[in-house]
Amino acid sequence: MKVLVFLALFGLAFASVKHYNGFQVFRALPKEEAHWKAIQDLENGGNFDFWKISGKHADIMASPTRIEVLRNFLEERSIPYERIVPDVEDMITKAAQEPKVSQGPRSTRYALTWDNYYGFDTIKEFCFELAASYPQMVTTTVEGQSHEGRDMILVKISNGGAAKPAVFVDGGIHAREWISPASVTYFMRELVENYAAHPELVNNVDWYFMPVINPDGYQFSHDSDRLWRKNRRPNEDGCRGTDMNRNFGFHWNEGGSSGYGCYDTYHGGAPFSEVESQVVRDVILANADQIQAYLTVHSYGQYWLTPWGWTSDYPEDYPELFALASDAVDALTAVEGTRYTIETSTNALYMATGGSDDWAKGGAGVKYSYTLELRDTGFYGFQLPARLIMPTAVETWEAIKVVGNFIGGMKK
Ligand code: 0X9
Ligand code: ZN
């Protein structure tokens, strides 16, 4: 009997991991307006997971039964395409099995390193350890609970005194974009544990970090479905999850999001319907007088995006946003030549409303609001190997420093 129960539980646990055997990813390269229109229709149809759409191409994942449907669709319309991932499961397995190279910093006080990707609890431990070891500089608080009861962690890095101009950084809004929390935690570590290398960054700026703002989705992508994107709340349509980056309350549900809860870009039942986006909103609003820059860290594509995502119009202060982005990207590229595109998100990618960046600027009045899409450009995509965490975090940190120094130099 015990054996049977064990086998049943084992079977359940095994069955609960989503596998992607035979799934393939195709890169479509539309050449004309009609091609783009067809790609848009295909996405709205909801039968394919669009890993990425940019102004140049669309990376589309097809399940084994849909591969031929996708190829026919593209061929009938003469849309050029190439296969970029021959087997998604293979790619996920290879990324997990890759030997870990020891190259980043490590500590005896916490388990987190930057040589591997870690689950939510390891990141949480790091956040609290940082505060315990550097109480004069770091305050870690729990700002609420996610739907499944995980802590929504806020780490404030400040050397006290009067409130300074502040930078707010979040990560992990999209579960599968693992390089995001990995990089954001690296920035936190650099500010604190390497304070002496750049004291002005903490002396002149207050920093707010929320490294994993979708903790349930993030953990689910570690345990059960590597390609999960949304949060995990059961929704009105019998599926789970809202795309948190379609749920913010500025021009919410005005295009580029889905009203159907089984789709990856489901915008939720109302603006800020999700407890996780509510918490982020409330933290930003509570500190809105201070916060001059909002950085939300995603992957992939190597874009430094400015608002707006709800219109193709440029914000009136775009030249200023572009100038700072350009200095930041120059510093990033100087490290080892990684190239980024700077654009508004509608013009670089697609229109998508309800994004946190648009809300931070339009709703909370944070002038310098950016979405960063970190490495790579699609060779590994979301499965960026762990050996590339350090190179990615290190180069991006150069850009973050530029933003910090700029904000720190602002008139008070
Ligand atoms: O679509 C998104 O949410 C972001 N790209 S991702 O591949 N990481 O999902 C881009 C968001 C850009 N900002 C807005 N559209 N507001
Ligand atoms: Zn994302």
Q: What is the CATH number of the domain that holds 236?
A: 3.40.630.10
Q: Is residue 12 part of a domain?
A: no
Share of the chain above pLDDT 70, in %: 96
- Atom nearest to 373 CA in ligand 1: 8
Same domain, 74 and 210: no
Dmax over CA atoms of the chain, in Å, equals: 72
Section 381-401 average pLDDT: 97
| Rounded distance between C-alpha atoms, residue 360 and residue 348, angstroms | 19
| CA 245 – ligand 2 centroid, Å | 8
Total number of domains constituting the chain:
2
Section 59-66 average pLDDT: 96
Same domain, 332 and 376: yes
Higher pLDDT, 61 or 236: 61
> Would you place residue 44 in the very low, low, confident or very high pLDDT band (cuts 50, 70, 90)?
confident
Section 22-50 average pLDDT: 93
Same domain, 191 and 61: no
Over 90: is that where the pLDDT of 8 sits? no
Bridge partner list, 369: 294
Bridge partner list, 154: 141
- Atom nearest to 356 CA in ligand 1: 16
Q: Which of 227, 298, 302, 321 to mutate to test the pocket of ligand 1 (most atoms within 8 A of CB)?
A: 298
| CA 141 – ligand 1 centroid, Å | 27
Same domain, 193 and 78: no
| Rounded distance between C-alpha atoms, residue 367 and residue 322, angstroms | 12
Q: Is residue 106 part of a domain?
A: no
3-state helix, strand, coil in the chain (%, to 5): 40, 20, 40
> Would you place residue 209 in the very low, low, confident or very high pLDDT band (cuts 50, 70, 90)?
very high
Query: Which pTM does this prediction carry?
Result: 0.95
Among the listed ranges 51-55, 214-218, 342-346, which one has the minimum average pLDDT value? 51-55
Over 80: is that where the pLDDT of 3 sits? no
Q: Is residue 307 part of a domain?
A: yes
> Would you place residue 412 in the very low, low, confident or very high pLDDT band (cuts 50, 70, 90)?
very low
Q: Is residue 282 part of a domain?
A: yes
**Residue having the nearest C-alpha atom to atom 2 of ligand 1:** 245
| CA 404 – ligand 2 centroid, Å | 23
Over 70: is that where the pLDDT of 4 sits? no
Give the residue numbers annotated as catalytic, written as ranges.
373
Residue-range definition of the domain harbouring residue 241? 120-407
Same domain, 66 and 151: no
Q: Is residue 385 part of a domain?
A: yes
Pairing outcome for strands 291-299 and 368-374? parallel
- Atom nearest to 350 CA in ligand 1: 15
Amino acid at 125: E
Q: Which of 174, 277, 377 to mutate to test the pocket of ligand 1 (most atoms within 8 A of CB)?
A: 174
**Residue having the nearest C-alpha atom to atom 14 of ligand 1:** 309
Tell me which of 40, 62, 97 is where a domain ends.
97
Over 70: is that where the pLDDT of 161 sits? yes
| Rounded distance between C-alpha atoms, residue 271 and residue 251, angstroms | 9
With beta carbons less than 8 A apart as the criterion, state whether 240 and 232 touch: yes
Section 161-185 average pLDDT: 98
Task: Reduce the DSSP state of residue 154 to 3 states and report it.
Answer: strand
Q: What is the CATH number of the domain that holds 69?
A: 3.30.70.340
Amino acid at 59: D
Q: For residue 350, give every residue at least 6 positions away whose Cβ sits within 8 Å of its Cβ, in sequence order, or none.
A: 53, 256
Q: Which one of the ligands is nearest to 371 CA?
A: 1
| CA 359 – ligand 1 centroid, Å | 13
> Would you place residue 295 in the very low, low, confident or very high pLDDT band (cuts 50, 70, 90)?
very high
Task: Reduce the DSSP state of residue 306 to 3 states and report it.
Answer: strand
Tell me which of 42, 66, 97 is where a domain ends.
97
Same domain, 374 and 240: yes
Across 6-164, the runs of DSSP E, i.e. the strands, are: 24-28, 49-53, 58-62, 81-85, 138-145, 151-157
Q: For residue 365, give every residue at least 6 positions away whose Cβ sits within 8 Å of its Cβ, in sequence order, or none.
A: 288
Same domain, 165 and 48: no
Same domain, 143 and 76: no
Section 362-372 average pLDDT: 98
Q: For residue 68, give every residue at least 6 positions away whose Cβ sits within 8 Å of its Cβ, in sequence order, or none.
A: none
Q: Is residue 2 part of a domain?
A: no
Q: What is the rounded average pLDDT for all residues in the chain?
A: 95
With beta carbons less than 8 A apart as the criterion, state whether 129 and 183 touch: no
Q: Which one of the ligands is nearest to 264 CA?
A: 1
Section 19-47 average pLDDT: 93
Predicted pLDDT at 6: 53
Please list every protein residue whose CB sits less than 6 Å from any atom of ligand 1. Answer: 52, 174, 177, 245, 298, 305, 309, 345, 349, 352, 355, 357-358, 371, 373
Same domain, 63 and 185: no
> Would you place residue 99 in the very low, low, confident or very high pLDDT band (cuts 50, 70, 90)?
confident
- Atom nearest to 351 CA in ligand 1: 15
Pairing outcome for strands 206-210 and 303-306? unpaired
Directed axis angle between helix 179-193 and helix 120-133, to 10°? Answer: 10
DSSP assignments along 204-239, one per residue = S-EEEEES-S-HHHHHHHHHT-TT--S---B-TTSS
Same domain, 279 and 150: yes
Angle at the Cα of 287 from the Cα atoms of 286 and 293, rounded to 5 degrees: 135
Over 60: is that where the pLDDT of 219 sits? yes
Same domain, 163 and 282: yes
Same domain, 367 and 280: yes
| CA 352 – ligand 1 centroid, Å | 7
Predicted pLDDT at 184: 99
Predicted pLDDT at 69: 96
- Atom nearest to 51 CA in ligand 1: 7
Q: Is residue 317 part of a domain?
A: yes
With beta carbons less than 8 A apart as the criterion, state whether 390 and 114 touch: yes
- Residue 52's φ and ψ, nearest 5 degrees, are -165, 135
Predicted pLDDT at 1: 46
Across 225-321, the runs of DSSP E, i.e. the strands, are: 291-299, 303-306
Q: Shortest CA distance to 265 belongs to which of 329, 351, 339?
A: 351
**Residue having the nearest C-alpha atom to atom 12 of ligand 1:** 345
Which residue is listed with tokens 């890169």? 27
| CA 245 – ligand 1 centroid, Å | 7
Q: Is residue 114 part of a domain?
A: no
